[in-house]
Every structure is written in C-alpha cells, then in structure tokens.
Chain A
Amino acid sequence: MVEVLYFAWVRERIGLAKEHVETSAATVADLVAELAAREDRYAAAFADTSALRVALDQELSEFDAPLAGVREVAFFPPMTGG
C-alpha cells in the first residue's frame, strides 16, 4: 500500500489531496495506468504525464522508476517557486 498525494491542479482535478492506494504496481507508470483507469477525473488528471512530475518519498523521480519499498508517491505539475 502506498500513500498517494496530489498537488495544485492535479489535486483539484482529482478532488483529493491524498489517499491510500492498494497496489502491486511495479513502476510509477503502472500506478498511473491503474489510477487513470478508475474514473474520468483520474483519467483527466493523468491524460498527459509529460505535464506532470512525480516524487517518491519526497524526492523528485521519474515515471519509469520502480515502486518497490516506496511509501509515498506525489503527483504534481511542474513547480513554480521563487
């Protein structure tokens, strides 16, 4: 099980800030495919993963990264700090 967090417009589109997800997905991309297949709001949020970034246990990562041992996955748009 992983904790999945959503930020900015990803959070708004899905309508949730975080949720527990039971998954056996091997990679981030597999998890995205599982989530996108759930409901339209998820499909809309994950329609274009090139517009998204992912962090695994609070470290920026990639969509082809493995999920083994990961406790927290966060999806968000490119950051706009500063």
Chain B
Amino acid sequence: MARISVQEAAFDLAAELAGFGEGRADVGAVVTFSGLVRDDGGDLAALEIEHYPAMTARAIEAMADQAEARWHLADCRVIHRYGRLVVGAPIMMVATAARHRAEAFAAAEFLMDYLKSRAPFWKKEIRADGSTWVAAKDSDEDALKRW
C-alpha cells in the first residue's frame, strides 16, 4: 500500500528512506527520485505551487495503485510539496521497492511522468520583476504515451 503525502512542510529524504523496502525477501531493488527547485535564468526567487486539495492525494493514490499493480511493487512512497519553495529546495520525492531494478525504475518513471501532467499542481515562478505561471510542455504530455 503506497503512502502518499501532500504537504507544505519540508521533508527529510534520508529519514523517509531509512529502512524503505528493507527486511523482506521479495525486494531486490529500491529506486528513489527527488525533484528540487531549479533556477535556469539566474533570477528565480521562489516557486509558488498551488494545488487542488480535494483532488491531489486521490489522484496520486490512483497513480500509485496502477504502478503497484503493474510492477508488483512491495512498497511505494510519494511526497509532493506545495506553497512557496525557494531555489534548491526539495519539491517532491518518489520511492519504489520491487523484486528487480527494471520494475523499480519503470514504476518510478511512470509515477514521475504522471505526477508532472496528471496531478493537480500548478507552478508559478516568482521573480523580482514579476511572476509567471509555468506552462505545461508538449513533451510532458508525450511522455505519458509510452505507458
């Protein structure tokens, strides 16, 4: 059963991963991904992430259920933050535990692709001279087709 957290607070990646997938005979692979706030233009002050509280956790649970069934995951953990996040801060993490690494990697990539364009989050870039909503990319939508 996946554990999903949608939260404003920072998370401790090491603490989240301590013991994840360990101590059982059917897990040979753990994959983790974490996404941080990047500044491509050199002038980003922060990201402001808005979400749809009544829908977010449900949407992510549905994605995690699919991933667990398809890649026979032994465990799955997703954390996604919202609110104001400064450059370099962690935004989200995904961890998957499976029998083999191909399954753990595929499940993590599937979850990342779906979180990007099917979880109800919207990013706004905050700069000294104004702020702009991040536009969804066609390539993000295309990424879903491989699944």
Residues of A within 8 A of B (CB): 5, 7-9, 55, 58-60, 72, 74, 76-82
Contact = CB atoms under 8 A, between A and B. Distances in A.
B83 interface: no
A8 B92 contact: no
Contacts of A82: 35, 91-92, 112, 115-116, 119, 121
A1 to B, nearest CB: 18
B124 interface: yes
A58 B52 contact: yes
B117 A78 contact: yes
B48 to A, nearest CB: 10
Nearest to B94: A82
A81 B116 contact: yes
Given A8-B133, A9-B133, A58-B58, A80 B52 contact: no
A77 B120 contact: no
A80 B121 contact: yes
A58 B120 CA distance: 10
A76 B116 contact: no
B50 interface: yes
A76 B52 contact: yes
18 contacts: A5-B52, A7-B120, A8-B133, A55-B52, A58-B52, A58-B58, A58-B59, A74-B120, A78-B135, A78-B136, A79-B136, A80-B117, A80-B133, A80-B134, A80-B135, A81-B116, A81-B118, A82-B119
Given A7-B50, A8-B50, A58-B55, A80 B122 contact: yes
B122 A8 contact: yes
